[in-house]
Structure 1
Amino acid sequence: MQMGKVYLVGAGPGDSELITVKGMEAIKKAEVILYDRLVNPRLLDYAKADCELIYCGKLPNRHFMKQEEINRTLLEKALAGFTVVRLKGGDPSVFGRVGEEAEVLAEQNVAYEIVPGITSGIAAPLYAGIPVTHRDYAGSFAMVTAHDKSKNGKPDIDWEGLARGVQTIAFYMGVSNLEHICENLIFHGKAPDTPVIVIRWGTWSRQESVVGTLSSIVEKVREGNIENPAITLVGDIVATREKIKWFEKKPLFGQQLLYVRGCAEEESFAHEYLNQGADVIEFPKWEVNKGSLDVKVRKKLPAYKRMLFMSTEAATNFFKLLKSYKIDIRQLQARLFCKQSTTIKLLEDKGFLSGLADELDSEGSLLIIGSNDHSEKNWKLDYKYGEHDYAGVYQASIDKRYESIIRRSIEDASISAILFSTSDSVHTFMKQAAHYGVALQSFAQTTDIICLNKQAWLTATNYGLNPRMQDENNKLYVEDFSQNSKNLIVSSKTY
């Protein structure tokens, strides 16, 4: 058996788009991924459908997998011939124990690569509006762990060197030892009025920042109930924050949205909310497996005058099936239509022009291409599109690998709004909520329920969820949950 290979990959600090290109390529080809708690679960969406996902994250009061078990698992999977990715938050070499893991692999002659990542000690301050160096404030920068192997858990470091020789200091996971840090920096020469900022959940929409000085920050952090994960930045550079902070000005900063998809065919607009600064948890995750093309449909392919793709997955799997059946795409004579705009882009990339389903006329035979268990009943399709043939080219089901991931994401978040785009999404939520640890009564008291169309609103109302719907201008508002105490536009897109 050929030995596998291990990629020790830095996932970045939280924002899923901060991963490197090389890191993303490793995820896409992985057969096994071991991932930490602070890795954004959205990165796992890029893994193969059959990739094994192993959680080995740590919480403040317990470990899911000890380091020795992680090392052993990396070895076992690689020796079994798998391509393995060890996905670590931030950069793997900055307090990420990558050296220990690489040593174990090297001792057993297992091939491996180390892929750097963006470290939170730089990224979190930048997302809070603070560069760690600046010609007017700081020409030196240090990264320091706030925990080490000392018996009492207090960092045993060169305090005098830090206090007198370094202008900007980033302490990792330092909340529990903050008082110890401040006392030692002051004792060894730092001025008590030296600016300090503690940044929790840096680069996420849930990011919180508390600003003070070495003499005041401990009390302010206690008052704000700030806990790890957090970066503590010490230095005059903190003064730049008010001028150049940018992330917190995004319209949906501070919003943590639960975006419900009722079936795989529903187009996801989660990326739009992410771009506006929100954290988005998609619920549930859907698994798509390739189906087949009926023999009768295959024989009629050249004769169809119109084809309607119900989803991007339908288009993707349709062309995969053509390839597997060795059907030349030049046989297709039909005009192509899509229910989703993203499918139009996919077809353009394949060299096909297409239009939206609203532009579909009634001239010529029609083939509708969707899932085997399409959410719209046959009579609805007949009513909408008239006589047609139907090809179910993929099978969709809830991806069980993500159940524990979604539960942990919901536990870590403070959900400000739940978004429903279809009736199916409401039904799915009501059936699955308890399974994912969502207590409906508590959510109803603290969470906005927003429906993107009337059908979803009616279904949610029938369940007694007290939903709100977009206004006449197709705008949605999240009320009372903004950290800026004002209404924020969630989306101006017509669904």
Structure 2
Amino acid sequence: MGAGPGDPKLLTLRAAELLGKAGVVVLDTEAHGPLLRHCREGVEVVEGDLQSAVRRAARGEVVVRLCEGDPTLFSSITEEVGACAAAGVDFEIVPGVPSATAVLDYAGIPAASEVPEFRVVDAAQEQDWPVHAACRGTLVIYHGIGDAVAIGKALMAGGKPDTTPVAVTSGGTTTEQYTVVSSLGRLQADLKHAGFTEPALIVVGDAVASRDRLSWFETKPLFGWRVLVPRTKEQSRSLSEQLVSYGAVPEEVPTISVEPPRTPQQMDRAIKGLVTGRYEWVAFTSANAVKAVREKFEEYGLDARAFAGLKVAAVGDATARALVEFGVKPDLLPSGEQSSEGLVAEWPPYDSMLDPINRVLLPRADISTDTLVAGLTELGWECDDVTAYRTVRAAPPPAPIREAIKGGGFDAVLFTSSSTVRNLVGIAGKPHNVTVIAVIGPQTAKTAEEFGLRVDVMAGKPSASALATALAEFGAKQRQAAVAAGDIPRRPSQNRRGARRRGR
């Protein structure tokens, strides 16, 4: 089975289907470990022991052998298939997306455009370079990075002009992708400090010139940025997916653990009051509060119908989405600032002629501020401020993560609340001063500054999605400024002392 060129999302549907059925998977876990997410629980992972895998298949088990790129392109599949045939094992060859086309697509180089000739060769095998020099279209060379300069000279000796464009790409289709554009005559000078390693592709031909207008992957606003996301796993999933779409490499480091309240009786009484008509309003200030109430409902065999006759308010897009998923449409959302203050600004004052009940239920975290309670009380409402869940500091992350935070290994960190600032600094230390600090709103910015952090980015509105968008806009401006100045765009982490100087 072909694993594709590097990006796990380029795996074919057939390959994903068979991985889900496999009892044994033979692969290089360092290269293809992320693909194991398609496997069922309990699958056995084997590192390269083909003979054992063949014996298992002979006993009727489904065995998958993952190969880089496409399994029939410059690989040892013939020998492996021969072992299966000798053992009487049925086999299937599942094509994979080949690097020869995928890496070019990701580098912005058309495989065959004006001249419809496309030639792929393996430098690990003996080649007649003068013959390949006659290729009028695009020449793609596998396994040639160690001999790139010698290959360039051989192609020129075979008649290729020294001005022939060349591109060398390593880490293709991944966020480690790095491309150097040169020419046959300048190849030695341009590759001298590039630090290329396999897997890499060398592309020779006029199609390389199209990269200036077709490059889309390496020009993403946060391409290659290592971004720290200090939230709970549940909260960070959609945020991480958005960051990936901007080219970033998110790393989720939980700083907060959400736990039930120490005294659940308070929530029990609140749910009973909600069902028996004690409240006129219920106000949710977080998706965690919605989750806590929903779990209590399920515990008592209730569902969203228990909200019938109640008015529901919510702060923030994530909270509103959590309510809608529960089956509850909020009656009140702040139209401006998505905060407790914004909600109070639009909350109607209590009117005994219109409101038969003057009580509001506020299921919140144990560390919530009194802003909402004070504001509603001033409007004439009585509030039951109930602890629906506790937020406690998570355990410190592994030592390499802590060192990267303090040493400038991260390009940016996203703070979605004041507590994420306090807890991250508490469990891992202060981010390095080259790290871009992005915050969700003014209160979080104030907390960050109290800890001596320079705030670089603030979301246009207090939502995690808006925060990721604001960081992408910041990254795009940084990239544009570098290009306008004639410089190679650099990630923030590359600006720290001792960082590798290779540009992106």
Contact 1:206–1:279 (Cα < 8 Å) also in 2: no
Change (3 A) 1:184 1:479: closer
**1:13 counterpart = 2:6:** yes
CA distance in 2, matches of 1:313, 1:66: 41
Report the alpha carbon displacement of residue 281 of structure 1 after superposing the two structures with TM. 1.9
CA distance in 2, matches of 1:239, 1:316: 53
Contact 2:5–2:103 (Cα < 8 Å) also in 1: no
Matches within 5 A, 1:66-81: 67-68=48-49
Contact 1:310–1:339 (Cα < 8 Å) also in 2: yes
Q: Match of 1:133?
A: 112
Change (3 A) 1:325 1:128: same
Q: Match of 1:213?
A: 183
1:344 to 304, 313, 320: 320
Letter in 1 for 2:229: V
CA distance in 1, matches of 2:4, 2:372: 43
**1:482 counterpart = 2:483:** no
CA distance in 2, matches of 1:116, 1:409: 39
CA distance in 1, matches of 2:198, 2:152: 17
CA distance in 1, matches of 2:399, 2:90: 30
Q: Match of 1:260?
A: 229
Q: Match of 1:302?
A: 275
Report the alpha carbon displacement of residue 418 of structure 1 after superposing the two structures with TM. 3.0
What is the percent sequence identity of the aligned residues? 25
1:416 to 411, 414, 429: 411
1:124 to 78, 103, 110: 103
CA distance in 1, matches of 2:385, 2:91: 53
The alignment partner of 2:432 has SS state of helix
CA distance in 2, matches of 1:285, 1:95: 43
Contact 1:259–1:283 (Cα < 8 Å) also in 2: yes
Q: Match of 2:206?
A: 236
Letter in 1 for 2:118: S
Q: Match of 1:59?
A: none
The alignment partner of 1:199 has SS state of strand
Larger radius of gyration: 2
Letter in 1 for 2:101: I
- 1:375-419 Cα deviation digits (max 9, x unpaired): 73486785687424444499996798xx69979999xx9643333
- 1:64-111 Cα deviation digits (max 9, x unpaired): x9533x9869999xx9x9x99988775566568788888889999999
Deviates further, 472-481 or 121-130: 472-481
More helix by share: 2
Letter in 2 for 1:209: T
Q: Match of 2:495?
A: none
TM-score, structure 2 length as denominator?
A: 0.62
Q: CA RMSD in A?
A: 5.8
CA distance in 2, matches of 1:31, 1:364: 58
Matches within 5 A, 1:59-458: 67-68=48-49, 117-134=96-113, 136-142=114-120, 144-146=121-123, 154-157=124-127, 159=129, 162-164=132-134, 167-172=137-142, 174-186=144-156, 190-204=160-174, 207-250=177-220, 252-254=221-223, 256-263=225-232, 269-275=239-245, 277-284=246-253, 299=272, 302-303=275-276, 306-307=281-282, 312=287, 326-333=301-308, 334-345=310-321, 347-348=323-324, 352-354=328-330, 356=333, 359=343, 361=347, 364-366=359-361, 368=363, 374=365, 376-377=367-368, 386-392=383-389, 415-433=410-428, 444=432, 446-458=434-446
Change (3 A) 1:74 1:287: farther
May I ask how many residue pairs the two structures share in their alignment? Answer: 441
TM-score, structure 1 length as denominator?
A: 0.63
Change (3 A) 1:115 1:192: same
Q: Match of 1:460?
A: 448
Contact 1:317–1:393 (Cα < 8 Å) also in 2: no
Contact 1:265–1:313 (Cα < 8 Å) also in 2: no
Q: Match of 1:470?
A: 458
Report the alpha carbon displacement of residue 282 of structure 1 after superposing the two structures with TM. 2.8
CA distance in 1, matches of 2:86, 2:285: 52
Contact 1:308–1:366 (Cα < 8 Å) also in 2: yes
CA distance in 2, matches of 1:219, 1:17: 35
Q: Match of 1:151?
A: none
CA distance in 2, matches of 1:52, 1:167: 48
